[in-house]
Amino acid sequence: MRCKLGDVISLHRERKVRTRRAEQAKAEENRVRFGRPRAERDITSKTLERQRRLLEGHALTGREENEKPRG
């Protein structure tokens, strides 16, 4: 809120406006910083865990690194 010299303003109201703008800026920063909602993060982590288990299940086991393949 811009005022000209000589205008009467309420300092309390100006303080509230300034505080509100600072809080909105902080909220925007936090939205960018923390990003996704918890449900979305949980889905992603569960999907990655499932993919990891699926890949481990298809891995060849019982063979040592220095063991030669048969055949």
So where are the chain's domains? 11-54
**HEC string for the chain:** CCCCCCCCCCHHHHHHHHHHHHHHHHHHHHHHHHCCCHHHHHHHHHHHHHHHHHHHHHCCCCCCCCCCCCC
pLDDT over 70 at 49, yes or no: yes
The predicted structure's pLDDT at residue 35: 86
pLDDT one-digit tens code per residue, 23-41: 999 999 998 888 888 999 8
Question: Computed over its alpha carbons, how large is the radius of gyration of the chain?
Answer: 29
| Residue 56 to residue 62: CA distance in whole angstroms | 13
Distance CA 5, CA 34 (A): 42
